C-alpha cells in the first residue's frame, strides 16, 4: 500500500505552534494501517515511548519541556490531549491514528480521559533527560512570561 510521504497539517490548534497532522491510513479486508514518514515530523526523532494501561481517572503528562518537542499519536482507544502555553489552551480529542499532534517546547501538555484500551505513542526530539521537565505550573508561567 502506497501510503504517501506526507503528514499534512490539518489545522493549527488554538495554541500557537501546536499543529495537527494527518497520518496516512489504508484499510482493507486484512485490517488497517496508519503510516507516518518521519521526514514529515518537524524534528529529528530520538526516542519513542508508549503510555498504556492508564486508569480512566488518571491524568498523564501535566508538564512542559524546556527543549524537547513531541509528536503524539493515539494508536489505540481514545484520550484527550490538553495543550496550554500560558496564554491560550486547546483540548484535542484523539480517537485513533488518523492524527498526530506536534507539541513544541515550552507548551504545557496534559493527557486524560484515557479509554481502557488507549495507547498513546509519543515521538520525542530528545533522549530522556529529567532536567528537561518543568513540572510546576507556576514555574512554567514564569518561564513563558519572563
Q: Which residues carry out catalysis?
A: 63
Contact set for a second copy, span 88-107 (CB under 8 A): 97
Distances (CA, A) of 42 to 55, 80, 115: 31, 22, 28
Does 35 interact with a second copy (rule: CB under 8 A)? yes
Q: Is 5 in the site for a second copy (CB under 8 A)?
A: yes
Distance CA 106, CA 85 (A): 7
Nearest to 36 by CA among 27, 25, 47: 25
Could you tell me the three cell numbers for 59? 491524568
144 near a second copy (CB under 8 A): no
Region of 86-94, 102-110, 112-120, 136-144 interacting with a second copy (CB under 8 A): 112-120
128 scored as a contact of a second copy (CB under 8 A): yes
Is the CB of 37 or the CB of 93 nearer to a second copy? 37
CB nearer a second copy, residue 42 or residue 45: 45
Region class of 98: left (phi > 0), else alpha (psi between -120 and 50), else beta: alpha
Amino acid at each position: 500500500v502506497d501510503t504517501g510521504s506526507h503528514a499534512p497539517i490539518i489545522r493549527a490548534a488554538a495554541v500557537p505552534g501546536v499543529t495537527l497532522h494527518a497520518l496516512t491510513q489504508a484499510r482493507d479486508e486484512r485490517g488497517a494501517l496508519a503510516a507516518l514518514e518521519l521526514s514529515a515530523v518537524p524534528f529529528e526523532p530520538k526516542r519513542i515511548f508508549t503510555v498504556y494501561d492508564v486508569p480512566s481517572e488518571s491524568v498523564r503528562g501535566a508538564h512542559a519541556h524546556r527543549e524537547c518537542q513531541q509528536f503524539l499519536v493515539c494508536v489505540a482507544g481514545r484520550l484527550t490531549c490538553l495543550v496550554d502555553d500560558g496564554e491560550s489552551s486547546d483540548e484535542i480529542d484523539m480517537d485513533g491514528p488518523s492524527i498526530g499532534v506536534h507539541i513544541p517546547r515550552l507548551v504545557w501538555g496534559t493527557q486524560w480521559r484515557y479509554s481502557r484500551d488507549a495507547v498513546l505513542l509519543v515521538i520525542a526530539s530528545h533522549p530522556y533527560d529529567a532536567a528537561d521537565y518543568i513540572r510546576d505550573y507556576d514555574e512554567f508561567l514564569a518561564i513563558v512570561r519572563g
